[in-house]
Structures are given as structure tokens and as C-alpha cells.
Amino acid sequence: MEQIAFASSSPNTLGIELELQLIDPAGFDLAAAADELLAQLVNHPAAEFIKPEITRSMIELNSSVHTRPADLLAEMRGMRDALCEAADAVGVVVAGGGTHPFMRWQERDIFDAPRFQYLAEMYGYLARQFTVFGQHIHLGVPSGDAAIRMVHGLSPYVPHFIALSASSPYREGVDTLFSCARLNAVNSFPLAGHLPPEVHDWYGFEAHLGQLCESGLAESIKDLYWDIRPKPEFGTVEIRVCDTPLSVERACQLAAFAQTLAAWLRDQPTPPARAWLAYRSNHFQACRFGLHGRYVSADGQRLRLSDHLKALFATLMPLAQEMGTAPMLTELHDSVLCGAGNDARWLRAQFHRHRELPAVVQAMAQTFRGEQAAATPLRRRIRATSEPMAPMAPGVGWPQRLH
């Protein structure tokens, strides 16, 4: 069995990756402009932190390593401003959000890089459908064993991250009725899912990955499209379930929440084996209904996810005060749980205001730049016990082809 070196990192360090949309301001569809944008940024100090993604309508921002989320936010605002300035020069705009509301996957171009070309050849149309946009959060851990323990500890909270970050209700011109439709695309890959519950240490992880590789099922850790996975070359645990938020402020709030939760989990026992029993159901409920989904806790309680989140915020707040993350956790709590809700709800409010999806995309781009668009309340909430929402009738500004 081949050993996998794990680069040690200091606990409480963190970093993020944001996959972003490149938008044509003429009609607010996606624009295949990654090459031009990267060329525009080639001599910029931030160039090393801005990378291509699988299709040419995507770009990725990578932070450096931080201890304080406030410093992370300052860095991400600077990179956002540099990216938007370069986008203006190229003639495109940039937006967050987990999906583009009306893009057609058939029209996407694979970026010309060996890894992306391999994925296109291996997975066919799934590679182009993978034009979805996520935030990855990296948490520093000192060893491989600590990484596996952290993955186990964080796994019951996957629905919380999904619901807090959800920003992908629209896809291919229709309301999917999901708060987070992006993860349906991720789950199409054969090695999507989660760490096997029986893997409890780094040796067990090495053995599991070795079996996958010997069987021809994987070539490396990159082939594991898990919700949370170790990243040995960085010395981190990587949370991969978040939609890209509409603003860098929300992205850094989520990172602060993850950092505080990880610090709290270090003193908690490993979740019991029965915690995995409800994993897929909890995952679905968070994707489908967001904060109003049903949640089965590790000890078997059945309650609304938003109620479990409120209790979790209350538990974390004393530690957040010690760590200096309390201001960001308070902003996240107040805006999502006591205010306008998650970004998916905001996007639906924009559609009810404008009645056309290109205007929704325009509002997304304005929000990413820091020019918050006004929102109006939704007419009703979609809950886990609601009847299905009636399909939305096409209106002015809708794409002519929905599939």
C-alpha cells in the first residue's frame, strides 16, 4: 500500500476557493472568456490566486492561508475588485451563485488544460454540465489522523453548510424547486458521496484509496468528489458542499462559521455510527428545502434544520467570542436565520420583482461587485411539507429553449 504524505498545518488556519461565473453583459448569459480574463491579469499581483476551471465560462479565486476571517475578507475584497476591473477591460462581468439560471450546458467550452480535457473525455456531457459554481473551505489540521477525525466530526453538519450557502434554485431556465440544485450535478460523478464510515484513521484512508486505485476506480484523491475530503498536500480538510455565495462577505462569514465549528469539534466525541444513517436524507432535505428542511440529528432527534442551526449558533457563540469570529457569525445568523434568508431565497425574490431571469443575473453581478440590488419579499416559503410549486410560465426575457 502506497503511503500518502500529509503536510501538517496549524489548527484554526483557513482558506477558501470561489468558483465564479463570467457573464456577457449584453444578454447576461455565460461568456466563454476565461482565457482573455487570465491574459488581462497576467501581470497583476493577484494573478497567482486566480485560476481557470473546467469550462471557459468559469474562473476561480483562491485565498492565501489565514487565521483571522477578517483578514480573509480584506484579501477577498481586494481580489474581487481586481477581478472586476479586469473583467470590465475584457467586456464581461462576474457573478457568484451556485448555478447560472438559464445557461445551456451544450454551449459550454472545455478549458484547454490536460486535467479538464481528460475529464471531458472520461465523463462526456457531464463535464459540460459541471458548469456549476461552488465555494470550498479549507481548515488546517496537524496530521492525517486529525484530518479523518475532522471529516467524521463535520459530516453531521453538511446539511447546515448546504442550507446556509444555497444559491442555485434556477437551472436551464426553470425553478428547480431546490434551494441548492448544484449538488445534483456533483452527485452524477461515480465517486461522489462521503468518506466511508468504517475509515477511522489515515492508515484506513490510504488503504481505501489504494483499493480504489488498484481496482481502476480512481487515479488520485482528485477523483473523490466527496462532500468533505482531506487535502494532504495542503494539510487541510476541505468542505466542498457550499454553493458560491452571491458576495465575498457571505463567503467569508461561512468560512468563519466553519473555523469556529471545527475548533469546537476538537473537544467533542466522534459522532456515533448511527449518525450516518440519516446522512443522505439530511443532505437531500437541505438541498431541496434549504433552511426549512427536516433534519435528523446524530442522537436521533427530528426537527427543522433552521432550529438545529439556531441552537448550534448559540453553542458556538462563546467560543466565537474567544476566537474573534463572533462578528461574522452574528452577521451570518442575523441575515440568514433572522433576516432575508439564504441566497436562494434572495434570488427568488429578485425573480418575483423582475419576472425575467436575465434581470436576476444582472442583480447577481451587481451584488458580487458590492452594489446590493434591492429585493422584495417572496410571496410564500417552500417548506418540506408544502405542496409542489406550480411551474412558472415563461415571460419576457426568458430563454427560448429551456433544455
Domain spans, the chain: 13-369
pLDDT exceeds 80 at position 376: no
Residue 134 pairs in a beta bridge with 243
Instruction: State pLDDT tens for residues 178-207.
Output: 999 999 999 988 899 999 999 999 999 999
pLDDT exceeds 80 at position 373: no
- The residue-averaged pLDDT of 154-169 equals 98
pTM above 0.85, yes or no: yes
pLDDT exceeds 70 at position 163: yes
- In the chain, the percentage of residues whose pLDDT exceeds 70 is 92
pLDDT value of position 1: 60
Measured distance CA(140)–CA(252) in Å, rounded = 16
pLDDT exceeds 90 at position 177: yes
**Parallel/antiparallel/unpaired status of strands 50-52 and 58-62:** antiparallel
- In the chain, the percentage of residues whose pLDDT exceeds 90 is 76
Instruction: State pLDDT tens for residues 322-360.
Output: 999 999 999 999 999 998 899 999 999 999 999 999 999
pLDDT exceeds 80 at position 400: no
In 131-281, beta strands by DSSP E: 134-140, 170-171, 174-175, 192-193, 225-226, 228-231, 236-243
pLDDT exceeds 90 at position 19: yes
From residue 234, give the alpha-carbon distance in Å to each of 135, 194, 218, 266, 348: 17, 20, 20, 19, 37
- The residue-averaged pLDDT of 251-259 equals 98
CA atoms within 13 A on the CB side of 146: 21
Contact assessment for residue 47 and residue 37, using Cβ atoms and an 8 Å cutoff = no
> Any idea which architecture 13-369 has in CATH?
2-Layer Sandwich (3.30)
Non-local CB neighbours of 110 within 8 Å, separated by 6+ positions: 54, 55, 56, 116, 117, 119, 120, 127, 128
Other Cβ atoms within 10 Å of 314 Cβ, number: 10
The per-residue pLDDT of the chain, averaged, comes to 90
For the ranges 155-159, 294-298, 399-403, which has the lowest average pLDDT? 399-403
Instruction: State pLDDT tens for residues 58-116.
Output: 999 999 999 999 999 999 999 999 999 999 999 999 999 999 999 988 888 888 888 88
